[in-house]
Chain A
Amino acid sequence: MTETAALSQQNIITTKDLDAKDIETILDTADSFKEISTRAIKKVPTLRGRTIINLFFEPSTRTRTSFEIAGKRLSADVINISGAGSSVVKGESLIDTAKNLEAMSPDILVVRHNCSGAPSLISEFVNCPVINAGDGMHEHPSQSFLDLLTIREHKGSLKGLKVAIVGDIAHSRVARSNIQAMQTMGMKVKVVAPPTLIPVGIEKMGVDVCYDLGQGIKDADVIMILRIQLERQNQGLLSSLREYSNYFCLTTNHLSNVSDETLIIHPGPVNRGIEISLDVLEGPRSMILNQVTNGVAVRMALFYLLLGESDANPN
């Protein structure tokens, strides 16, 4: 590890707080950590003696595992707490849960919660850094960093790239984190979805809005497909998943008009055949598994950067 610059923020709650230098620092650090995961012995002593608590109030496989592996590869002690197994089911308030965990001196709290703003609330009541691992419809910053890392690896740089984000923009925390971070990095973002899944005022966040998939992805360097959830149908936001697929499922047909260099990313979990066809999912442009690999590196970088270069020994 070479010397790293610290971040401007003590918590990672929203990508809006971070400037281009912060994001570059995170990506560069993640880049240098990637190699560790390719070793036979995938562990460095960097964060030995540090404690990381993964506080997950919402089910998660990929993100929780990714944070856990990231911590363990840096030799931190990682504790996982899930909503169902916590005192939340006994009626404890979020703040009390957080304060009690803090009393056991963790070095970082990683929080996932179904309410927007929950990690922000927790950060006001604890002294250790808080990483938002996805809060309601608000943000999922580490997902954005792993997306950016994946894109940068394949495109060389981020500035000037055009991105189309396709799907349930209204309910997507991944979309919000990326819309902000990508623009900070000089990228141009377009959102593509039926009008019922485009939130009010999104254009004021600097994005273009498009209701046609073919048009929307035409000149994109990156296509990000979002998961569509079945319950949107019951909320009257979709007529049916079948009709959604007819208009918004990314298939090889759409890609015939798109450059071979265009990357396809998806934050997972994927509904095969609903928002993306099987052949595209498994085709050469699909970066989905690279994203997952990069997720570990990005989260290692966040732990390392938040715990400070001064007392975290990279060797």
Chain B
Amino acid sequence: MTFFFQNVINALQWGSFYALIALGYSMVYGILMLFNFAHGDIFMVGAYIGFGVAGGLVALVAAGTFSLPGWLILVLTIIISMLLTSFVGMAVERIGYRPLRDAPRASAAITGLMIGIILETGNLALLGARRVRFPSLIQSVTYDVGGVFVTNKKIMIVVVSLMLMLALHQFIRRSKWGMAMRAMAFDYVVVPLMGVSINTIASMTFAVGSALAAAAGILFAVAYPVLDPYMGILFGWKAFVAAILGGRGSILGATLAGFLLGFIEIFVAMIFPSTLRDLIAYSIILLILAFRPHGFFGEPYSARLRL
């Protein structure tokens, strides 16, 4: 039983990464009806930006410019990196998606893929092929709760992710921007006529999605400090599948499906040999999609919906 709860903790942690990334996919899909295939690499860029920011802050503290506790450095790192990465996301939208607004959607998928490759290779060119190590900012403390070992890092990751998701929910529900996004997702044609600029909203969506991906990247780096330029590929595609599973454009769906994917993966690895993890996880997803083609919370797709 403790083994089971141990895995629940792990699954919650993995699920947080997936859910945070899947949210970015889902938001972009909700508004522009296209998949941002560069999103996985934005996750990677976010982790690297976090690495840079954290490294800089640690160096400043070491030089004695000011003194900060480790957890505050981490919080600052997350905030600054989310901000910086949101600019990366906006740039991706500006370069890869805005010129293609009227083009077939598949063309935009190709530019997204290609921007992803450019981000990976650009990183490789800038930093070289060696892997970098994220500085450890908080001491790992392990608590023993009735035989289940919980580290403070895991708790932190899950709590921060949940806080970010709540913040996103509030942003979408309460703010003017969020209202504009929901309106745009509701009707792509009429809302621009009401004086809402689709370009601004699209930019904003990419910015928010990228910021969440950056947060996921840093949280991932806290748990698994070794970063490499291709880490975004696997995560990105899996989170993409999670976004679909949740229902395209559905924020709640993406969150739940992200956690579900985490649970499936961890529990498959618990029961079967871990090499079978992808095989079984994807088969389960296929099965779910076969019975619920639109995901958990998605609307039935209509080709005429937004043309």
Do A and B pair up? The answer is no
* B-binding residues in A (CB < 8 A): none
Q: Interface of B with A (CB < 8 Å)?
A: none
